[in-house]
Structure 1
Amino acid sequence: MDVQVIRHLIGRVKELEAQSGHLQKLIDDQIEQIHHSIELPEENACETLLIFTMDYIDHVPDFLEALAEASREAGIHSFIAPFLDIAEENFLSALTQDQPVNGLDLLLDKAYFAHRLIEEVNDQYLIKTGSTLIPMNMTWANLIIHSILDESFANELDVIADKTVDQMMRSQAIYHQERFMEFIHDRNSEEWIRIWSRWNCLSSNLGIELKFTSAA
């Protein structure tokens, strides 16, 4: 996985966004609907949401990189890598699609899918073990982005993310290997939280509260 390619793409599209304002227009068009689902400041609501949305996109390579490093240190990278590869491939598909890349709105659904995919990995792991794999709570951030995206399109992305994780964890032999089962059984929750807490600074950049608790 090469997160630098993702960062380069985001940087390039940011320059185009400064000229086109496509993401700004999307938020302006959706702002009234969004106000019904989340609480925004009375002043500069659109600007606040634009900054949040841009940070949400920026967060993707940092998040994937942190997850890769943490999983390597914990010795479970082979279990996490397939999902990181899917998130990366989908994000970079913006480079190969016929649709012109001229604003950050095109990357918003890519960022949403990446975050939802990892959130679903967490959910599936919770079902299997009774605890989360990644002690990071992106739920409310994802709900905000869901409200910005077209409702039906966001729902489609949710279904794809859910089915992708479910099918992979059912069909791939790696998730039935003895080593994975041992990790589930023997995982030291406090140590795993300590490893992840190194990336707690991500929360200050995104403005999202990341929860690191022994219950994770």
Structure 2
Amino acid sequence: MCDHYQLIQQCIDRAVAAEQSRGRFRRALHDTLPNLHRSIHLPQRDAPLHITCFVIRYIQAIPSWMQRLDEMCNAGGLDFHPLRELILHSFSQVPERQPYEHGLGSILDEAYLAHRAMEEINDMLHPLCGTPLLPMDPMVANLVVRELLGEKLACQLDDLANILLQRFEPAELDPERLVSMILYKQRYDDAPGEWPDFASQLQIELRTPSLSRQIDLSH
């Protein structure tokens, strides 16, 4: 792992260690979970523990996933540098901002920004490549984290991700670069278990009304 992502990994490791030592994030969830959107279905037994484990996995995936996307974009001649530097800067500022409160809650907004940016880049390049660069489906996970952060902060982070994405120019991919990116992607195709659905693995689901139910309620 290159130095940039090692620094992010170190920040994440400190946050996880702080949670394992003090459990502040898990305790705080007892007040947060009753306010989650009713469509988010959690296990009835020890929901705070399930959410805490989910958040840890969600955050821990960032360095390796971002580095792979970085390498593939570089193979395609796309400039990943602005996004990488912003994410690195946001993670590295956490200990200075909250030296005694450093934990999962203090880096959850940075984690959401990283995942949302990766999701959008993946969606942007999918039509050009004919396949997602990263074989992930983070929609449910991002929606759950959005609820934990609150709508106002999540919208601000979404806006920031969109500003970063404006620097991407996938239309400028020439055929040779596109082939290089797809070939680079194939190095990661045989990696089972590295792209988990964090939410479903921990029995966290989105449950929406059925179409028939929606029709009934419309009368």
TM-score scaled to structure 2, two decimals? 0.73
Q: CA RMSD in A?
A: 3.2
Cα distance per residue 1:175-198 (max 9 Å; x no partner): 565xx2325765786x56633324
Structure 1 residues 129 and 65 mapped into 2: Cα distance closer, same or farther (>3 Å)?
closer
CA contact (8 A) 1:94 1:101 kept: no
Give the % identical residues.
24
Tell me if structure 1 keeps the 8 A contact 2:76–2:180.
Answer: no
Q: Does 1:196 align with 2:198?
A: no
Correspondence for 1:145: 145
Distance in 1, matches of 2:52 and 2:142, equals 15
In the alignment, what sits opposite 2:50? 48
Residues 27, 77 of structure 1: alpha-carbon distance in 2 compared, 3 angstrom cutoff = farther
1:135 match: secondary structure: coil
Larger Rg: 2
Q: Check whether the contact 1:13–1:103 (CA below 8 A) recurs between aligned residues.
A: yes
1:56 Cα offset (Å): 0.8
SS at match of 1:137: coil
> In the TM superposition, what are the counterparts of 1:35-114 in structure 2 within 5 Å?
36-71=38-73, 75-76=75-76, 78-97=78-97, 100-114=100-114
CA deviation digits over 1:18-37, x for unaligned, max 9? Answer: 34433113322221233613
Q: Is the 8 A contact 1:20 1:103 kept in 2?
A: no
1:136 aligns with 2:136: yes
> How many residue pairs are counted as aligned between the two chains?
199
Unpaired segments of 5 or more residues in structure 2?
202-219
Q: Deviations over 1:24-71 (max 9, x none)?
A: 133222212336132211212221111111111111112123334555
Please identify which structure carries the higher helix content: 1
Which amino acid counterpart does residue 9 of structure 2 have in structure 1?
A: R
Query: Any stretches of 5+ residues in structure 1 without a counterpart?
Result: 210-216
